Amino acid sequence: MEVSLSPGPNGVTDRAGAGHGPPVSAEPDPDISAAFAAAYREQHAFVWRILRHLGVPPAQLDDRLQDVFLVVYRRWDSLDPAVSLRSWLYGIARRVAADQHRGDRRAARRLEAVPAPSHGPGPEQLLAQAEAADFVDQFLADLDPERREVFVLAEVEHLSAPEIAAATGVKLNTVYSRLRVARELFARAVDRRIRAERGDHGPRR
């Protein structure tokens, strides 16, 4: 079902039409519609990046972005003024991403009986792909999920430690600890990369 999240004169519309579940709102509150429209304009890029960092496949990002903001619109009245908007959005995006991953796993189980291709890329192609890989993305992929979560929110999305704690439900001291370790690992990864590029194979600290 494709849902349009572009607010029109009567608020958010649902292009899916009748017969596909209840409409978002038969008579939208103008104040809510205006506030939601502003939040969407200001935060949709942030949510898109979060979904990407949470592993939503590129082909599914736009659809999952709409899913997040559909939930946001329906639950707008439940937003706690004491919680930052980005923390709230992150929590919703994480649940939407988790639903996506569950669906992907179900699809993968259905395809388990399909034989794997007998051929793969050659060494030169693999080398070219490795050389073209983005360093930061590779680092994030190697980082354990708990540290990656706080590292991305702090260093990429610039959320404060208290905002991260509110968004993830993790204790503030734990957030600081995970972030400190992730930053240290990143610094070491940068050092190793520099040494490799220089051909320096001497002792490492």
What pLDDT, in 10s, does the model give residues 19-68? 333 344 445 566 678 888 899 999 999 999 999 888 888 888 899 999 99
| Domain end position, chosen among 87, 114, 141 | 114
Global pTM value? 0.53
Same domain (yes/no): 177, 201: yes
Residue 142: both structure tokens together: 């190697």
Same domain (yes/no): 54, 91: yes
Phi, psi of 11 (to 5 degrees): 100, -165
Taking a C-beta distance cutoff of 8 angstroms, is the pair 167, 156 a contact?
A: no
| Domain end position, chosen among 57, 89, 114 | 114
pLDDT digits (tens, 9 = 90+) for 172-199: 999 999 999 999 998 898 888 778 877 7
Helix (DSSP H) and strand (DSSP E) numbers for the chain: 8, 0
Phi-psi region of 79 (alpha: psi -120 to 50; beta: other; left: phi over 0): beta
Per the structure, the complete domain to which residue 159 belongs is given by: 118-205
Same domain (yes/no): 20, 103: yes
